[in-house]
Amino acid sequence: MLEIRNLHARLTDGREILRGIDLLVEAGEVHAIMGPNGSGKSTLAAVLAGRDGYQITEGAVTYLGRDLLAMPAEERACGGLFLAFQYPVEIPGVNNMYFLRAALNAQHRHRGEPELDAGQFLRAVRAKLKFLDIGEDLLQRAVNVGFSGGEKKRNEIFQMAMLEPRLAILDETDSGLDIDALRAVARGVNQQRAPDRAILLITHYQRLLGYVEPDRVHVLQGGRIIESGDKDLALELERRGYGALGDAA
Amino acid sequence: MTASSDTVRTVRSLSQEGYKYGFVTDIEADEAPPGLTEDTVRFISAKKEEPEWLLEWRLAAFRAWRTMTPPNWAKLHLAPIDYQAATYYSAPKQSAGPKSLDEVDPELLRTYEKLGIPLREREALAGVAVDAVFDSISVATTFKEELGKLGIIFCSMGEAVREHPDLVRRYLGTVVPQNDNFFAALNSAVFSDGSFAYVPPGVRCPMELSTYFRINAAKSGQFERTLLIADAGSYVSYLEGCTAPQRDENQLHAAVVELIAHEDAQIKYSTVQNWYPGDAEGRGGIYNFVTKRGACRGARAKISWTQVETGSAITWKYPSCLLEGDHSVGEFYSVAITNNRQQADTGTKMIHIGKDTRSTIVAKGISAGRGQNTYRGLVRVQPRAQNARNHTQCDSLLIGERCGAHTVPYIEVRNPSARVEHEATTSKISEDQLFYCRQRGLSAEDAVSLIVNGFCKEVLKELPMEFAVEAQKLLAVSLEGSVG
């Protein structure tokens, strides 16, 4: 589903953040990407989602057989790539429901599928709300405005559930969550696991992985994946810390 | 895309019928020679077969105008206007416009399409020489009968002068005197036509009144004069303008609107202004100098202005409220967009005269391209205005690097019991917001439109429902190409 080969990316100021990433993610898999602060985790997420401000100097990314890096951000989204933001953005005055419906219908239009009318959309929303523990009041508020940290993250997972992506990238969705919110988020992620869907969990801590069991765990450091393994690698990291891996970088 | 010959025939016959309702007056094209003298004023008044008192009223305005100079305090850059080069009276000519939509600027047609304007209306808006919007005549006639049963008068200003001279004479110029300002004086001397409405005591007008339904509306734009009176305990909602871009061969526009709300009466006045803004360099756009003012004459009267200003090269406009009656209320909700080379200097004046008067100002300015957007607002509390309250919220949104937003509040308080609040914010559409929207599948332009509509929400929700939907589309179209 996703194949990253020797990906190098730098900021516009010339600093190289990604220094040769190789990663293969198959449909149905959950991969965790772990690493210390500044290792390039969020940059990887941003580059995959098509954020401006990065220069790709080397390498290639293939997504569902297409050249991902050649697609504008909205086309990647319409092609089923979803990014749950580490810092979800506030849009004052825009109703959360309205925003989501606009997004969903933009994706449907792009794929030549019929748009949902207000009634169909509301039914779909109600069905998803149940297991995410999100109050309906959240839907009537402006996008992320005045949301608590937990509410913002739950809202991201809710959007993911509604948009039903093929590849979901969760950028530190677990950071700053209390245990209830963490469980709700994990429930949402687990519910999204499906044979035709891949999930990339970017995280600093092992905590979330206690609730969402990854198929593969990768350690990112200095802009490279320095170690890969199964779920036990996460536990090992938790025990010995990232510092012990430093020498291998 | 031409009107079918059937339509043209029907329109012809309807508009001939229209004469007996007084909608169409001087179709025989006559033009005053360019320039403005007392003779021009006399010519206009004679053409309109006006009574002597109105001619004298116009002449008084003209004499005042001659002694005045154009205001220069607004933050607007424009070359001096040669008022003697303009033509001040020109009856609509059938042959003046394009013969069919095929002859109309394709750019304009694309915009109509985006706004979802029905085909027949597009012809009228583009000035195609069909002399009436097909549906409007019959609709207007039906409405007029229905309104008549309630004693509501709604007609052109010209008709009001003929049919209801006492009402016109009693109220005309009582809110905006002839010598109020340079442009109001000019309008008073040469006003072409406009709308008149009177709602009798205790009557709630059952529909939104709109100039849209008056076939002459498109042609009376240059020096439009509107007078609205809501008698004691009545209610009226009035819609002015239309979301479709309107072209006009006259670059200079100076309209005057006067509202009078008596005791316990309410007037809601909504405007969508989309005059031609000129090309990307600002060439050829309309100069729009408007004086709009409402007087809350009685206790508990309420006047509410809502405006969405997206057009014109220059906008100079301050819809205001004179809060004379005790407990009277004034509101001003505004969205002003400037894109490309557009300039807007707009805001309001809330004059608190009576006791316990309240006013609310919500102004949203959006600047894109090289647009310059100024909010200019006065809140004045007179010595007698015990317990006056005002809240002003003034927000600016910038799109791009070359535009400007300016806020110029004037607060004059002469009564210590007053409570006046002013909040202002300036923000930019952030890269983060755009990326967030695009990551969810929205195009950059849809994202801007979504963010802008969110920014304007407090104002848009004051518009009547259908108007609000149109206004949303209009905001999107007005900002096309502002991100790239």
Q: Pairing relation of β-strands B195-199 and B225-230?
A: parallel
User: Residue B461: closest CA among chain A residues belongs to which residue?
Assistant: A93
Q: What is the pLDDT of residue A244?
A: 63
ipTM of the assembly?
A: 0.95
pLDDT at B394 over 50: yes
Angle of CA points B179, B185, B187, to nearest 5°: 150
**What pLDDT, on a 0 to 100 scale, did the predictor assign at position B177?**
96
Contacts with B333 from chain A: Cβ below 8 Å: none
In a 3-state reduction of DSSP, which class is residue A152? helix
pLDDT tens by residue, A8-24: 999 988 899 999 999 99
The pairing of beta strand B389-398 with beta strand B419-428: parallel
- Judge residue B163's burial from the number of C-beta atoms within 10 Å of its C-beta, 0-12 exposed, 13-18 middle, 19 or more buried: middle
Q: What is the dihedral of CA B411, B413, B416, B422, to 10 degrees?
A: -20
Chain A nearest CA to B433, separation (Å): 6
pLDDT at residue A247 tops 60: no
- Closest CB to B441 among A92, A107, A142: A107
CB atoms within 10 A of CB A38: 12
Q: So what's the pLDDT on residue B427? A: 86
- Between A134 and A94, name the one with better pLDDT: A94
**In this structure, what token pair is assigned to residue B287?**
């100069």
Is the Cβ pair A50, B438 closer than 8 Å? yes
Helix ranges restricted to H, B103-222: 106-115, 119-125, 134-149, 157-163, 165-171, 182-190
Q: Which of B430, B439, B454 sits opposite A49 (nearest CB)?
A: B439
Residue B168 to residue B352: CA distance in whole angstroms:
26
Residue A235 in tokens? 């536990």
Of residues B99 and B139, more confidently modeled:
B99
Q: CB distance from B142 to chain A under 8 Å?
A: no
Chain A residues in contact with B442 by the CB 8 A cut-off are 74, 102-103, 106
How far is residue B468 from each of residues B119, B169, B239, B295, B314, measured CA to CA in Å? 21, 35, 11, 26, 24
The reply to whether B130 touches chain A by the CB within 8 Å rule is no
Rg (CA), chain B: 22
| pLDDT at residue A249 in the model | 39
**Pick from A220-224, B19-23, B64-68: least confident:** B19-23
Average pLDDT, chain A: 90
Measured CA to CA, the distance from residue B24 to residue B82 in angstroms comes to 31
Of residues B436, B443, B450, nearest to A85 (C-beta): B436
CB of B423 within 8 Å of a chain A CB? The answer is: no
The CA distance from A48 to the nearest CA of chain B, in Å, is 11
Higher pLDDT, B427 or A195: A195
At B414-454, the pLDDT tens digits run 999 999 999 999 888 888 999 999 999 999 988 998 899 88
| B446/A106 touch (CB, cutoff 8 Å), yes or no | yes
Six-digit token pair at B97?
């416009």
pLDDT value of position A58: 94
pLDDT at A74 over 50: yes
Which chain A residue is nearest to residue B444, measuring alpha carbons?
A: A74
Given an 8 Å threshold on Cβ–Cβ distance, is B433 in contact with A49? Answer: no
State the pLDDT at residue B28.
40
Residue of B nearest to A110 (CA): B441
- Percent of chain B predicted with pLDDT > 90: 50
> A245 CA to chain B: closest CA distance, Å?
34
Q: Judge: B442–A88 Cβ closer than 8 Å, yes or no.
A: no
The per-type count for chain B, helices as H runs and strands as E runs, is: 13, 18
Confidence of residue B4 (pLDDT cuts 50, 70, 90): very low
**Cα torsion at A94, B245, B211, B53 (round to 10°)?**
130
The shortest C-alpha distance from B394 to chain A (Å) reads: 15
Name the residue among A49, A93, A163 with its Cβ closest to that of B455. A93
**Is the Cβ pair A163, B441 closer than 8 Å?**
yes
- Indicate the pLDDT class of residue B125, thresholds 50, 70 and 90: low
Distance CA A109, CA A116 (A): 10
Do B211 and B217 contact (CB within 8 A), yes or no? yes
> A50 and B441: CB-CB below 8 Å?
no
pLDDT of amino acid B188: 96
Look at residues A174, A28, A163, A184 and name the one whose alpha carbon lies nearest to residue A105.
A163
State mean pLDDT over B14-20. 30
E strand or H helix at A123: helix A118-132
Contact A106/B456, CB-based, under 8 Å? no
A179/A218 Cα distance (integer angstroms): 24
Query: What pLDDT is attached to residue B138?
Result: 43
Answer yes or no: is pLDDT of A2 > 70: yes
Q: Are A208 and A186 in contact (CB under 8 A)?
A: yes
Q: What are the chain B neighbours of A159 within 8 Å (beta carbons)?
A: 440
In chain A, which residue's Cα lies nearest the Cα of B448?
A91
Any A CB within 8 A of B443 CB: yes
Look at B246 and A135; give whichever has higher pLDDT. A135
Among candidates B431, B454, B456 on the partner chain, residue whose Cβ is nearest the Cβ of A142 = B454
Cβ contacts of A99 within 8 Å, gap of 6 or more? A91, A143, B437, B440, B450
Distance between CA B71 and CA B4 in Å, rounded? 48
Is B5 a residue whose pLDDT tops 50?
no
**Total-model pTM:** 0.80
Q: What does the DSSP assignment read for A194-239?
A: -TT-EEEEEESSSGGGGTS--SEEEEEETTEEEEEESHHHHHHHHH
Q: Which of residues 444-463 of B touch A (CB under 8 A)?
A: 444, 446, 450-451, 453-458
- How confident is the model at residue A129, as a pLDDT? 82
Contact A83, A51 (CB under 8 A): no
**Which range is least confidently modeled, A183-197, B14-28, B234-248, B413-427?**
B14-28
Q: Report the C-alpha gap between A107 and A121 in whole angstroms.
A: 14
